[in-house]
């Protein structure tokens, strides 16, 4: 059966843990350090691989003292955990500001390592939970960007070409909002 996959990257953070628990039922869930093999996980070529954690523009925060690049996380998931990237439609970097510029950033590092489009915010995000749904909203006038590694280009999520990302995320109880205007 097809299901998106949620991977908890940051450990020891109660807000991230709360959001991760809300994804139960909507996504298969695992932690990035788990030893469970992921070769049976199947997103039907369209459902997301969600990497949930804190980050700066270039690295994930693993815990209070450890940071890893996106390529490090992807390598572990693909090589050690046997994840098959082609079984998923895209990667969603949730809970972090992974989109730095159009030429560098965590989302480009992840996209180049995994070969899938990557959706990320240019700023930190506000995370919310309402029943079984979770929402992510960029703060400080942030924007959602999508990196297509096969083309080496970045688009804004508001473009018609990228509309399906919101639709697919909504199908697994994840809502991505535009930044609030003040």
Q: Is residue 95 part of a domain?
A: yes
Residues near 9 by beta carbon (within 8 Å), at least 6 away in sequence? 31, 32, 51, 52, 53, 55, 60, 61, 62, 68, 73
Neighbours of 72 (CB within 10 A): 16
Q: Is residue 24 part of a domain?
A: yes
Which one, of 42, 44, 34, lies nearest residue 81 by Cα? 34
Tens digits of residue pLDDT in 136-154: 999 888 899 999 999 999 9
Q: Is residue 72 part of a domain?
A: yes
Phi, psi of 36 (to 5 degrees): -65, 130
56 pLDDT above the threshold of 80? yes
Residue tagged 């990320």 (tokens): 120
Q: Is residue 1 part of a domain?
A: no
List beta partners, residue 173.
Answer: none
* pLDDT attached to residue 25: 83
* pLDDT attached to residue 88: 97
pLDDT band at 180 (very low <50, low <70, confident <90, very high): low
pLDDT band at 182 (very low <50, low <70, confident <90, very high): very low
Q: Is residue 62 part of a domain?
A: yes
Please check whether residue 97 is in contact with residue 120, taking contact to mean a CB–CB distance below 8 angstroms: yes
Please calculate the CA angle 59-62-66 and round it to the nearest 5 degrees: 80
Which one, of 100, 112, 95, lies nearest residue 145 by Cα? 100
Across the range 118-134, mean pLDDT stands at 89
Across the range 45-58, mean pLDDT stands at 92
Q: Is residue 180 part of a domain?
A: no
Total domains present in the chain:
1
Q: Name the CA radius of gyration of the chain, rounded.
A: 15
* pLDDT attached to residue 179: 85
Query: What is the pTM assigned to this prediction?
Result: 0.94
- Domain range for residue 98? 6-170
Please check whether residue 79 is in contact with residue 73, taking contact to mean a CB–CB distance below 8 angstroms: no
Residue 136, H or E segment: strand 133-138
115 pLDDT above the threshold of 60? yes
Q: Is residue 176 part of a domain?
A: no
Q: Is residue 178 part of a domain?
A: no
């Amino acid at each position: 059966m097809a299901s998106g996959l949620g991977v908890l990257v940051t450990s020891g953070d109660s807000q991230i843990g709360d959001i991760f628990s809300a994804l139960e039922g909507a996504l298969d869930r695992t932690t990035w350090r788990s030893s469970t093999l992921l070769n049976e996980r199947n997103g039907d070529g369209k459902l997301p691989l969600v990497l949930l954690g804190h980050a700066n523009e270039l690295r994930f925060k693993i815990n209070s003292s450890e940071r890893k690049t996106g390529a490090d996380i992807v390598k572990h998931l693909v090589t050690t955990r046997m994840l098959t990237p082609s079984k998923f439609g895209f990667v969603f970097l949730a809970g972090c500001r992974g989109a730095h510029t159009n030429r560098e950033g965590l989302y480009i590092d992840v996209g180049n390592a995994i070969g899938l489009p990557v959706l990320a915010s240019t700023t930190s995000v506000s995370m919310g939970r309402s029943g079984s749904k979770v929402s992510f909203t960029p703060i400080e006038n942030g924007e959602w960007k999508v990196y297509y590694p096969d083309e080496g280009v970045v688009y804004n999520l508001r473009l018609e070409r990228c509309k399906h990302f919101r639709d697919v995320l909504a199908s697994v109880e994840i809502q991505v909002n535009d930044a609030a205007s003040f």
